[in-house]
Structure 1
Amino acid sequence: MSDGFREGLMSPDQAAELINTGRALSIAGDRDLLLQLPSGNWIGGTTPYFVASEGGLCSRKQVYVQCLYGIDASISNYDGDHLPHVLEDAPEHGYSIIILPAGSRVLEDYARYAPTYFDMFIKPIAGWVSGVHVDELGQASAAVVDGRTGELFTDRAVVQHVRVPEHESVAVHTVNLFEAGDGPELEFAATGFSAEDCLIDGRPGNLADTVQSSGIDSRWPLVADYCGALVNVSVQSVDPQTRAVRFYAPVFEGVRYRFARPVGNYPEAFLAAMPEEPGEILFSCNCILNYLHSNLEGRRTAQLTGPITFGEVAYQLLNQTAVYLTLERD
């Protein structure tokens, strides 16, 4: 929702013009481009991947700008110690957009503890995990930017807290293709972003060995029921030498998981799942794994445009999910 202001994919010079209007913005792009932008009321995160109105693409020459609708907005950045207060700072009537850097301790803290934060699931919060080009995984660091000062962080979260009129409210939505399959039930002894040994149908075993010996397609995430909501945990890598599996989000101790039921035609299924009439969209983002596995380059995803991300936030951290916010009027 742009109120007449252009938003979407643009050059750094065009983004600078929009920043200078004073609008509250969320901006995604290559690190060097974000550091060129003037100070203002914006937050940013690193990613070269986007889905624009013309389709999905990878670009290191353009940024994706989202104008955040509201009466007013304020920016905060949080380290791990202060992150639990994120929604205490949020308006009573509005929403928050959060960006966290991939591979950071602050992301791990959010992933583990966000469901316990004060006002969580009461005040709307959505957002994304910044990343790098997939060819640079393990070499470059994801980052976020506090646009007030232009300062770049690799281990802090940046947040836009936005207030909306009292007769309006904001709803958080997700698009998730996956449900638990019929394979073995998995249970982990500790919460974390990696796992080796675990319980497999109640018996001790090694997850990496099971993935390899069973021919499990690691495109399909682990799925668990978190208090009635199906939540994905995507596989980042399976290392046969260390016999370890790394994830894009943590698996939790005491939660039972199964690998997702295979999706017959991933690209078509994902595009078919996009909402045709989602309402007035305030913000949206989509997962890098959906982008890669659904071959979204050059393809449109209805009205859901925005950054392609390395994790998504719809209250808690999600994987392989599209997230969007809509404006609701009383």
Structure 2
Amino acid sequence: MNTNRSTTSLLLSAAEAAALISSGISLWIAGDLNILRKLPKGNWIGGTIPYFQIGGAGLDERGKVLAGKFTPLAGSPKIQNYDIVSISDICIDAPGHGYTHLILPAFSAIHSHYARNAIQFPGMFIQPVVGWVAGMHLSEPDTPPAVIDGQSGEIFTERALAMHVPLPESHDARIEIVNNFEQGEGDCIQFPESGFSTHKCIIGNKEVDFSTWLQSKHADLKMPLVADYCGAMVNVSFKGIDKSGRVDFYAPVFSGVNYRLAKEAVENTNPTSLADADFSCNCILNYLYRKPGIGHLSEITGPLAFGEIAWMLLNQTQVSLVMEKPE
């Protein structure tokens, strides 16, 4: 298989983005809401995030947007918004040959619903679903993350937006997941209930207070929990511990799943070949917790999001979409 670079992510001024939209190109756009809401109508979807990864460095930029083109195409991409009822049809609505680019607003009901239930949606994992979770500037935590339908100009804080992208038969879309973490050698951790928060966990068949256990292990909450799904390492990042001892996460933990505290992955998990991916995003926590450009942010360009989507919701993970052209 030969990779064929057909999408370019561009850091643009508002005027440059407006000109690109007016040219009729189908786009995804990430940026501050104050810019996104002023852009002209067109075939684009957007999400609020002012943090970008440009090459191996992170950027906090509220005066520009990051845009990516959807090409090559076999017909016009279709924009569709979803609520917590209709989102289960996202794979049914997908093109027969192509992929879906999805943007979710962070901390919304649909964000939570998708994180808990996406793996059970009809048709999931048959066609690629890739995307990211919109957020807000960290200096404004009370500002609700939003997604924008470029065709209608509508702004949603409780709906998801998708661009269903049909591909010509000459191209295939492949999702690559890069995780800098793997399971450590410590205790196996289970949870009595699924959810974004917990007071209790199960260790050695005994239910214990999770925050107390974390403190006893001097756990670094910048390191996620990691579950091993048949060899695929899936992270759940810590959001924090409140005054009552409740432990909060950026993605749900699931009952019956074995987790361990993370350690750094031994292998080099930042392949340079993904620098030319058609779409990439990385987790904002990898930007906040790591030193940009020192082996932890690979040479990609894309949003530094509040979550990454590779079919299911991921944390502290880099996700890329690579277009392949069969020989």
Instruction: Give TM-score, length-normalised by structure 1.
Output: 0.92
**Structure 2 CA distance for partners of 1:51 and 1:188, relative to 1, 3 Å:** same
Per-residue deviation, 1:70: 2.9
Q: What residue is the counterpart of 2:57 in the other structure?
A: 55
Give deviations 1:203-252, integer Å, cap 9, x for gaps: 1111111112221001110111224321000001122x211111010001
Aligned partners of 1:126 and 1:314 also within 8 Å: yes
Q: What residue is the counterpart of 2:320 in the other structure?
A: 324
**Structure 2 CA distance for partners of 1:275 and 1:263, relative to 1, 3 Å:** closer
**Structure 2 CA distance for partners of 1:92 and 1:108, relative to 1, 3 Å:** same
Specify the code of the residue in structure 2 equivalent to 1:23: I
Specify the code of the residue in structure 2 equivalent to 1:311: G
1:130 aligned residue (130, 134, 144): 134
Q: After TM superposition, what 4+ stretches of structure 1 lie above 3 angstroms from structure 2?
A: 297-303
**Structure 2 CA distance for partners of 1:168 and 1:93, relative to 1, 3 Å:** same
Give deviations 1:146-171, integer Å, cap 9, x for gaps: 11111111111100111111121100
Q: What residue is the counterpart of 1:214 in the other structure?
A: 217
* Number of equivalenced pairs: 321
**Structure 2 CA distance for partners of 1:200 and 1:302, relative to 1, 3 Å:** closer
Counterpart Cα distance in 1 of 2:56 and 2:238: 30
Alignment of structure 1 residues 155-234 onto 2, 5 Å = 155-234=158-237
Per-residue deviation, 1:300: 9.7
Per-residue deviation, 1:6: 6.7
Aligned partners of 1:56 and 1:300 also within 8 Å: no
Aligned partners of 2:55 and 2:275 also within 8 Å: no
Counterpart Cα distance in 1 of 2:297 and 2:259: 29
Give deviations 1:59-100, integer Å, cap 9, x for gaps: 110110011113231100000000000011111111111000
SS in 2 for 1:179: strand
Per-residue deviation, 1:303: 4.1
Aligned partners of 2:201 and 2:208 also within 8 Å: yes
- Greater shift, 115-124 or 52-61, is seen at 52-61
Asked if 1:32 is matched to 2:34, the reply is: yes
Aligned partners of 2:56 and 2:299 also within 8 Å: no
Per-residue deviation, 1:278: 3.3
2:22 aligned residue (6, 20, 23): 20
SS in 2 for 1:212: helix
Alignment of structure 1 residues 1-330 onto 2, 5 Å = 7-53=9-55, 55-71=57-73, 72-137=76-141, 139-239=142-242, 241-262=243-264, 273-278=269-274, 281-296=277-292, 301-330=297-326
Per-residue deviation, 1:302: 4.8
Aligned partners of 1:55 and 1:300 also within 8 Å: no
**Structure 2 CA distance for partners of 1:6 and 1:275, relative to 1, 3 Å:** closer
Counterpart Cα distance in 1 of 2:21 and 2:265: 41
Per-residue deviation, 1:323: 0.2
Instruction: Give TM-score, length-normalised by structure 2.
Output: 0.93
Counterpart Cα distance in 2 of 1:26 and 1:149: 15
C-alpha RMSD over aligned residues = 2.1
Counterpart Cα distance in 2 of 1:322 and 1:263: 14
Counterpart Cα distance in 2 of 1:203 and 1:209: 14
Specify the code of the residue in structure 2 equivalent to 1:65: A
Per-residue deviation, 1:142: 0.9
